[in-house]
């Protein structure tokens, strides 16, 4: 079956512009996660959705970052007034119900470059 | 704060030369330890979940083990197609998020 998909696969933007990254989870998965992977660093958790609500937003680095999920499916991560340090690969994952010990399946990521 | 440390950072093996990758962790209330494989330009691919000390899981040339302080990913007679970055992650308490180590970059040559 179809896995997690993300778009765009690559995004180049200028400093100060806003960007939107999209994630389509595996059909039927109620839990959705966003992570960020910077060069030389491990994957860093950003936010977790259960259905359309976000019980854990603890990883969002600043108020320039926001995310929403609609219809219990597609999620959008928005970065406002991008900075060069936002350059990274943004990865989305989904799991069946969000319970602990459940496998998270990752998408291919969006590579963001802020010039 | 949960901490996950992977070693070595990079490992170069010849085809058929077995070795082990280490993932040590300092956490409260481990619920699961996850191993993923990541190829360049792709997202992490799930390999194993280990839940309690003493547990072992195998898949082809890979075997993962877990103690109270660390996990090992043993690679037996590796092939060039096993070349990838191997990531370890933990899930703790009632949180759903994963905390990752920085990975081990494995290169297997002919």
β-strand partners of B26: B3
Give the tens place of pLDDT for each residue, B59-78. 999 999 999 999 999 999 99
From CA B41, how far away is CA B50, in angstroms rounded?
A: 26
Contact A99 B96 (CB under 8 A): yes
Residue of B nearest to A4 (CA): B43
Residues in chain A whose beta carbon is closer than 8 A to a beta carbon of chain B? 4, 31, 33, 35, 40-45, 48, 50, 56, 58-59, 91, 93, 95, 98-109
Q: How does strand B104-109 pair with strand A65-69?
A: unpaired
From CA A99, how far away is CA B7, in angstroms rounded?
A: 29
Residues in chain B whose beta carbon is closer than 8 A to a beta carbon of chain A? 4, 31-32, 34, 36, 41-46, 49, 51, 87, 89, 91, 93-103
Return all residues near B1 (Cβ < 8 A) that are at least 6 apart: none
pLDDT tens-place values along chain A, 115 residues long: 589 999 999 999 999 999 999 999 999 999 999 999 998 788 999 999 999 999 999 999 999 999 999 998 999 999 999 999 999 999 999 998 767 668 999 999 999 999 9
Q: Which of A85, A113, A88, A81 is nearest to A16 (CA)?
A: A81
Residue among B34, B39, B44 with most chain A CBs within 10 A, to mutate: B44
β-strand partners of A49: A32
Contact B43 A44 (CB under 8 A): no
Helix (H, G, I), strand (E, B) or coil at A84: helix
Q: How does strand B62-66 pair with strand B70-75?
A: antiparallel
């Amino acid at each position: 079956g179809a896995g997690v998909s993300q778009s765009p696969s690559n995004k180049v933007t200028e400093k100060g512009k806003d960007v939107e990254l999209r994630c389509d989870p595996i059909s039927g998965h109620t839990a959705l996660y966003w992570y960020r992977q910077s060069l030389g660093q491990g994957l860093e958790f950003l936010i977790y959705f259960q259905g359309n609500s976000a019980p854990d937003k603890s990883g969002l680095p600043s108020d320039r970052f926001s995310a929403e999920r609609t219809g219990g499916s597609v999620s959008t991560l928005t970065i406002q007034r991008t900075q060069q340090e936002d350059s990274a690969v943004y990865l989305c994952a989904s799991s069946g119900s969000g319970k602990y010990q459940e496998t998270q399946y990752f998408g291919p990521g969006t590579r963001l470059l802020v010039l | 704060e949960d901490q996950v440390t992977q070693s070595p950072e990079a490992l170069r093996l010849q085809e058929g030369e077995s070795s082990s990758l280490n993932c040590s962790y300092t956490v409260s209330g481990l619920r699961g330890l996850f191993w993923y494989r990541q190829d360049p330009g792709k997202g992490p691919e799930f390999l194993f979940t280990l839940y309690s000390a003493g547990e072992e899981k195998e898949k082809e040339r890979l075997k993962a083990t877990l103690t109270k302080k660390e996990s090992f990913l043993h690679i037996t007679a590796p092939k060039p197609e096993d070349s990838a970055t191997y990531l370890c992650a933990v899930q703790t308490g009632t949180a759903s998020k994963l905390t990752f180590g920085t990975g081990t970059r494995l290169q297997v040559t002919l």
